[in-house]
Amino acid sequence: MKVEQLFTGCLAEMAYYIESNGEAAIVDPLRETEPYLRMAEADGAKIKYIFLTHFHADFVSGQYDLAKKTGATIVFGPNAVTEYEIYNGKDGEVFKLGKGTITLLHTPGHTMESSSYLITDEKGNTPCVLTGDCLFIGDVGRPDLATKSGEITEADLAGYLYDSLRNKIMPLPDDIIVYPNHGAGSSCGKNMSSETFDTLANQKKTNYALRADMTKEEFIVEVTTGLKPPPQYFPNNVKMNKSINTSIDEVLSKGTTALDPATFKEMSEQKDVLVIDTRSKEAYTEEGTVPGAWFIGIDGSFAPWVGALVTNIQQKIIFIAESDDRVSEIVTRFSRVGYDNTLGYLAGGINNWKTQGFDIDKVGSMSAKEFTDNLKAGKLEKPVDVRKDTEYLSEHVEGVENFPLDAINANFAQIDTNKAYYLHCASGYRSLIAASIFKANGVENVTDVRGGFKALKETDAPITDYVCPTTLL
Ligand SMILES: [Fe+2]
């Protein structure tokens, strides 16, 4: 039985492709259908099942489109209710796939419908278990507030999670491989490892949540402490995952429309259209951009930042790409978090825009050394660190205020548009996003510090003493 892990770095998400004797199953597919269709075709296999571990909150999964194209059955665990046809598997139910089987284990906790899938090969061995957001490597799924409904509290969910882990996952063979749905960088847990799989035995030794002598009460406190509110797009993605959405093919055909500079300009000036510049940091700062554009570079945590910052999921979006061959990838990546209303891209890129003689907007750019020298000389009006508060409190440059990018929409009223801002983050991606949003909202004088905190630490900038982040909890 073939089990392949399909890792998507931007979302820190792992989908799975399983195949045996001409029958295939996909677990937790992303929005796009092509990669799965290609894999099955290469194996000469028919996709029979699409298994979901739960209603994802951090991306829109592609089960509906994929089932429509393949005739596969969509399987969710108990309690899942959707607008489209699904099969609700029962705890312990066995699904035949080629010469092997897949057993649904109902493992509520992260959400109530959460389920894990145990793979059994033709010899009756169980090489791996797909744990979804029940068990991660080094962590467990957060009791999911985004899908909280009715009377169930976060503590109730944590209690269910404890029982699921102790009764369903921990009794599995020690050498079984744990394949989770997320890795480091996802907001679905607090403390995930950058490893994408591990043996259960090793997790029992190293994962705090599986400690043998942990009581239920201790577990509940541990997993519910320090939970931040989920990113704003999470409830929207859950809703979309229960509904029938615009098909990915339709989203792609609309989003990949080439817009000539004059049309792009006209659209960019409409109040309800947002321009997103997806190019590299260097291209954005050196060449400048279309006035009012936000920078969210495609080569970074693109989709989660779109989701965190663009408050209207139906926002009309037009975008600038570094090259035309990345256009469909960009539209796909918007749609992975439910932003389906992309209307097209700037044909010929920023050079074509410049050729027309249209205006260019630029944020300032400063080296870490210049920042430090000017800070010490008292010449920086508003030096700001846009990292998370936990990062800031653990270590920061003295005299620099914290204004986290995560909360920029909620706190923007605190910004004085007449002042000069100097922004840094950890390495330069988030500060450029923030700088572009400052600029788009009327701050004329905004400068990005290249290389961020990492580069600043190599200058003689005054760094505060380390404060243990746990004191923040
Ligand atoms: Fe999740």
Closest listed residue to residue 112, CA positions, set 78, 146, 81, 74:
78
The pLDDT confidence band at residue 20, using thresholds 50, 70 and 90, is: very high
- Specify the pLDDT at position 348: 96
Q: Which residues pair with 430 in a beta bridge?
A: none
The pLDDT confidence band at residue 467, using thresholds 50, 70 and 90, is: low
Q: How far is the CA of 182 from the centre of ligand 1 (A)?
A: 8
Which whole-number Å values give the CA distances from 458 to 371, 372, 396, in the listed order?
12, 10, 13
Q: At residue 185, does pLDDT exceed 90? A: no
Average pLDDT (183-209) is: 90
Q: What is the pLDDT of residues 75-91, one digit of tens each?
A: 999 989 999 999 999 99
Distance CA 392, CA 400 (A): 10
Decide: 337 and 303 in contact? Cβ < 8 Å: yes
Residues in the chain: 473
Average pLDDT (347-373) is: 97
Q: What is the pLDDT of residues 291-327, one digit of tens each?
A: 999 999 999 999 999 999 999 999 999 999 999 999 9
Q: How far is the CA of 91 from the centre of ligand 1 (A)?
A: 19
Distance CA 162, CA 164 (A): 6
Closest listed residue to residue 116, CA positions, set 242, 27, 6, 243:
27
Q: At residue 170, does pLDDT exceed 70? A: yes
Q: At residue 282, does pLDDT exceed 50? A: yes
Distance CA 351, CA 356 (A): 9
Q: At residue 261, does pLDDT exceed 60? A: yes
Which amino acid is located at 182 in the chain? H
Strand bridging mode 177-180 / 401-402: unpaired
Average pLDDT (367-380) is: 97
Kindly state the percentage of the chain with pLDDT values over 90. Answer: 90
3-state helix/strand/coil string of 247-275: CHHHHHHHHCCEECHHHHHHHHCCCCEEE
CATH 3.40.250.10 fits domain 364-472: yes
Q: How far is the CA of 210 from the centre of ligand 1 (A)?
A: 19
Which CATH fold topology does 2-236 show?
Answer: Metallo-beta-lactamase; Chain A (3.60.15)
The answer to whether domain 2-236 and domain 246-355 are alike in fold is no
What does the DSSP 8-state code read for residue 413? G
* Cα 25 off chain centre by: 24
Closest listed residue to residue 176, CA positions, set 109, 118, 95:
118
Kindly state the percentage of the chain with pLDDT values over 70. Answer: 97
Q: How far is the CA of 100 from the centre of ligand 1 (A)?
A: 27
Q: How far is the CA of 55 from the centre of ligand 1 (A)?
A: 7
Residue 393 dihedral angles phi and psi, to the nearest 5°: -70, -25
Q: How far is the CA of 110 from the centre of ligand 1 (A)?
A: 7
Q: How far is the CA of 194 from the centre of ligand 1 (A)?
A: 17
Q: How far is the CA of 186 from the centre of ligand 1 (A)?
A: 9
The pLDDT confidence band at residue 403, using thresholds 50, 70 and 90, is: very high
Closest listed residue to residue 137, CA positions, set 97, 78, 193:
193
The pLDDT confidence band at residue 144, using thresholds 50, 70 and 90, is: confident
Tokens encoding 194: 């950058």
Q: How far is the CA of 302 from the centre of ligand 1 (A)?
A: 18
- Specify the pLDDT at position 147: 52
CATH 3.40.250.10 fits domain 246-355: yes
Closest listed residue to residue 26, CA positions, set 59, 48, 54, 58:
48
Distance CA 3, CA 129 (A): 10
Average pLDDT (226-234) is: 85
Q: How far is the CA of 57 from the centre of ligand 1 (A)?
A: 5
Q: At residue 472, does pLDDT exceed 50? A: no
Domain spans, the chain = 2-236, 246-355, 364-472
Q: How far is the CA of 318 from the centre of ligand 1 (A)?
A: 29
DSSP reduced 3-state for 320 = strand
Q: How far is the CA of 365 from the centre of ligand 1 (A)?
A: 38
Distance CA 7, CA 16 (A): 9
- Ranges of H-type helices in 124-176: 154-164
Angle between helices 327-335 and 302-309 (to 10 degrees): 50
Average pLDDT (204-228) is: 93
pLDDT: which is higher, 185 or 168: 168
The pLDDT confidence band at residue 466, using thresholds 50, 70 and 90, is: low
| Contacting residues for 436 by C-beta, under 8 A, at least 6 apart | 277, 284, 289, 293, 294, 295, 363
- Specify the pLDDT at position 471: 44
The pLDDT confidence band at residue 473, using thresholds 50, 70 and 90, is: very low
- Specify the pLDDT at position 425: 98
Averaged confidence pLDDT in the chain = 94
Q: Which residues pair with 385 in a beta bridge?
A: 402, 424
Q: How far is the CA of 141 from the centre of ligand 1 (A)?
A: 7
Distance CA 324, CA 422 (A): 33
